[in-house]
Amino acid sequence: MALIAPSLLASNFLKLQEECEMLNNSSADWYHLDVMDGRFVPNISFGLPIVEQIRTITKKPLDVHLMIVEPEKYIIDFKNAGADHITIHYEACIHLHRNIEQIKSLGLKAGVALNPHTPIILLEDIITYVDIVLLMSVNPGFGGQKFIPNTVDKIRSLKKLIHQTGSQALIEIDGGVTVENAGALLHTGADVLVAGNTVFKSANPTETILKLKTSD
């Protein structure tokens, strides 16, 4: 069954505790936490203190998506703040293999994220080292954008690469995921769906999470 990772970026920050309690009581699998630095992406979101606070209110895995330059400088800090998974961008890492190993050596799951324009083939020599591949299905930086359709072809190529290499990596899709497109993404090979606006702006977020989870 699909893993669902609601993105707190679309939540009501004034009611963060209630939003977290809703997630705890829902069928959500992971908390997806989008960290933006205003340099790698043209937006600033939240950082360590928020991750630290959220850690105190949930036992569900914290899936931290670092949209920041030089992520290697902050990996230890995010581990100490309570991250379970750390995903870094292919485009932000000169020494991706070293940085992935750094994350894993701390006992965390390591993910690599690809921007929409970055081809799957570039993962050939890193795929067996990572636990998660996050495919951006919008340009990173903002919630509530429209799904980029060629992501579906990328899921197909990635699935093939994973199969050929014997990699155990999970495929996570991030951006513009809706109740309408979730089924197709899962059928094509996605394992994890991130959803921000679809969950938090819906009339019944708990029900929406369940709908996403059972859409395959």
In 3D space, the residue among 154, 148, 75 whose CA is nearest the CA of residue 111 turns out to be 75
Q: Answer whether 8's CB lies under 8 Å from 57's CB.
A: no
Nearer to ligand DX5, 63 or 131 (CB): 63
Active site residue 63: no
Active site residue 153: no
Q: Does 131 bind Zn ion (CB under 5 A)?
A: no
Site for ligand DX5 in 145-164 (CB under 6 A): 145
Query: What's the min distance (Å) between Cβ of 197 and Zn ion?
Result: 12
Q: Does 195 bind ligand DX5 (CB under 6 A)?
A: yes
Q: Does 9 bind ligand DX5 (CB under 6 A)?
A: yes
Residue 80 to residue 41: CA distance in whole angstroms: 24
Nearer to Zn ion, 13 or 105 (CB): 13
What H or E segment, with its residue span, contains residue 23? helix 16-24
Amino acid at 123: L
What H or E segment, with its residue span, contains residue 114? strand 109-114
Query: Can you tell me which of 30, 40, 45, 65 binds Zn ion, judged by CB under 5 A?
Result: 65
Q: Does 172 bind Zn ion (CB under 5 A)?
A: no
